[in-house]
C-alpha cells in the first residue's frame, strides 16, 4: 500500500531527517530553525530528535554564520544552513563567493566545502522589492557553486539529499509557493541527480524550458493547449548549474522552437544564458527566433494592484506560445479559472509565515 501524498515542505523535512540519521556529521542551523513555525515546517522535529548540538538557532549575523559553516565543512561536518528569505543572505556573499566557492580550486584535493545553503524565495502577499528576489542567476554566475531549484516534492527531497552529500557547496533555492505542492514521494533515501533536467511533458510543437514554480504555470498552459491539438514539450530545468543543455538540445531536435521561462529578472538571467547557448551553438535547430518570459527589469511592487502585471502566469505563457506558433486566437477559456487573488497560490494559502 502506498502512503498518502506529501507536500514539498514535508519532503524537505523528511530529507533532513534521513540525512541526519545517515550521517552524524550533518548539522542544521539558521535563524528560526527551532521556533514554533520551524521554517514553514521544513525543520519540524529536528532539534527534538537530534539535539541542540546538531540543530540550533543563530543570531542575525549572516556573514559570520556562513563563515562558521565554511569552517565547519572544512573541519569534516556537512552543514545545512537556512535563510527564510534569500534577500537576507546577501549580507553573507563575501563568505560564499570568496571562500566557499573558491576553496577547493585554491587549495586542491582534500579541501572541499560540503555546505548546503537553503534559501527561500518567491513572490506574492505584498513581499515587495526586498523580500521576493529570485537571484538564481547571481549564484550560477559564481564558479565553484552548484545551484538547484526543485519544482515538486519528489525533487525537493531528492535534490536536498544530493546537495547535502555533494562534496561542493550547493545553493538550494526553494520557492515558497512549492512548499504546499503535493506529490507521491518515495520513502527512504532517494537522490535527484544535480545537473540533470527532466522532461515533464512530451510534445513536438515547441520546447518550453521552465524552473521552480513556473513549471506549475507552464503545466496549466500546456494542458489547455493540448485540448486544441498543440502538444508542447515541457522541460523542468531542476538544476540551474550545472545546466543540462543536452536534454534541451534533444527536445529542440523535435520541435525547432524554444521558449524559456525564468522567475528572475530578464537582464543577465538564466534564460539569457540558455538562449545565448542555443543561438551560438545550435542555430540550425531553430525554426524561429528563441523567446523568453522573465520578470521585468524593475523591483517587484509591494502594491497588490501593481504586482498584478508583474508575474508570469499560464495566460502569458499561452499567449507567447500562440505568438510563436502563429495561432490566431489563444484558447484562454481552456485555462483553469483564475484565482480569487493573484498574489496567493490558492485558497488554502494562509500567509508567508
Q: Exposure pattern of 175-203 as b/e (b: 16+ CB <10 Å)?
A: bbbbbbbebebeeeebbbebeebbebbeb
Query: Which residue in 131, 175, 179, 219 is the catalytic one?
Result: 131
Task: Determine whether 131 is an active site residue.
Answer: yes
Structural contact between residues 332 and 313, judged by C-beta atoms closer than 8 angstroms = no
Q: What is the pLDDT of residue 145?
A: 98
Mention every residue, 6+ apart, whose C-beta is less than 8 A from residue 237. 149, 197, 209, 210, 211, 243, 244, 270
Q: Which of 14, 62, 174, 273 is an active site residue? A: 62
Residue 129's pLDDT is what?
87
Residue 17 annotated as catalytic: no
Q: How far is Cα 352 from Cα 212, in angstroms, rounded to an integer? A: 17
**What would the pLDDT profile of 285-303 be if each residue is shown by its tens digit?**
999 999 999 999 999 899 8
pLDDT at residue 127 above 90? no
Question: Is the bond leading into 242 cis (omega within 30 degrees of zero)?
Answer: yes
DSSP state of 212: T
Query: How much is the pLDDT for 1?
Result: 52
Task: Compare 336 and 347 and report the one with higher pLDDT.
Answer: 336
pLDDT exceeds 60 at position 325:
yes
pLDDT digits (tens, 9 = 90+) for 77-98: 999 999 999 999 999 999 999 9
Report pTM.
0.95
Return the pLDDT at 107. Answer: 94
Alpha-carbon gap, residue 205 to 163, rounded angstroms: 34
Q: Give the Cα separation of 39 and 176 in Å (integer).
A: 11
Q: What is the pLDDT of residues 3-46, one digit of tens each?
A: 789 999 999 999 999 999 999 999 999 999 999 889 999 999 99
What residues form DSSP beta bridges with 173?
A: 119
Interval 189-204: pLDDT, tens: 999 999 999 999 999 9
Share of the chain above pLDDT 70, in %: 98
Amino acid at each position: 500500500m502506498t502512503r498518502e501524498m506529501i507536500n514539498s515542505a514535508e519532503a524537505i523535512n523528511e530529507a533532513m531527517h534521513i540525512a541526519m540519521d545517515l550521517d552524524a556529521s550533518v548539522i542544521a542551523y539558521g535563524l528560526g530553525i527551532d521556533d514554533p513555525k520551524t521554517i514553514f515546517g521544513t525543520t519540524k522535529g529536528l532539534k527534538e530528535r537530534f539535539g541542540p548540538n546538531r540543530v540550533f538557532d543563530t543570531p542575525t549575523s549572516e556573514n559570520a554564520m556562513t563563515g562558521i559553516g565554511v569552517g565547519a565543512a572544512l573541519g569534516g561536518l556537512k552543514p545545512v544552513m537556512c535563510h527564510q528569505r534569500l534577500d537576507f543572505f546577501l549580507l553573507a556573499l563575501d563568505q560564499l563567493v570568496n571562500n566557499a566557492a573558491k576553496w577547493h580550486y585554491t587549495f586542491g584535493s582534500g579541501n572541499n566545502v560540503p555546505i548546503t545553503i537553503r534559501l527561500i524565495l518567491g513572490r506574492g502577499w505584498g513581499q515587495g522589492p526586498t523580500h521576493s528576489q529570485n537571484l538564481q542567476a547571481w549564484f550560477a554566475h559564481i564558479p565553484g557553486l552548484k545551484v538547484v531549484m526543485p519544482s515538486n516534492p519528489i525533487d525537493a527531497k531528492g535534490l536536498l539529499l544530493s546537495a547535502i552529500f555533494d562534496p561542493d557547496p550547493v545553493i538550494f533555492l526553494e520557492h515558497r509557493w512549492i512548499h504546499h505542492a503535493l506529490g507521491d514521494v518515495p520513502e527512504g533515501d532517494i537522490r535527484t541527480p544535480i545537473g540533470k533536467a527532466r522532461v515533464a511533458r512530451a510534445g513536438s510543437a515547441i520546447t518550453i524550458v521552465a524552473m521552480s514554480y513556473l513549471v506549475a504555470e507552464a503545466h496549466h498552459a500546456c494542458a489547455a493547449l493540448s485540448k486544441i491539438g498543440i502538444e508542447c514539450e515541457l522541460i523542468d530545468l531542476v538544476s540551474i548549474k550545472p545546466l543540462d543543455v543536452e536534454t534541451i538540445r534533444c527536445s529542440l531536435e523535435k520541435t525547432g522552437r524554444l521558449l524559456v521561462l525564468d522567475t528572475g529578472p530578464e537582464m543577465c538571467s538564466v534564460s539569457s544564458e540558455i538562449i545565448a547557448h542555443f543561438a551560438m551553438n545550435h542555430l540550425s535547430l531553430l525554426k524561429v527566433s528563441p523567446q523568453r518570459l522573465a520578470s521585468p527589469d524593475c523591483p517587484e511592487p509591494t502594491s497588490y494592484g501593481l504586482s498584478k502585471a508583474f508575474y508570469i502566469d499560464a495566460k502569458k505563457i499561452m499567449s507567447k506560445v500562440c505568438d510563436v506558433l502563429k495561432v490566431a486566437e489563444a484558447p484562454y477559456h481552456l485555462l483553469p479559472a483564475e484565482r480569487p487573488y493573484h498574489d496567493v497560490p490558492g485558497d488554502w494559502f494562509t500567509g508567508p509565515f
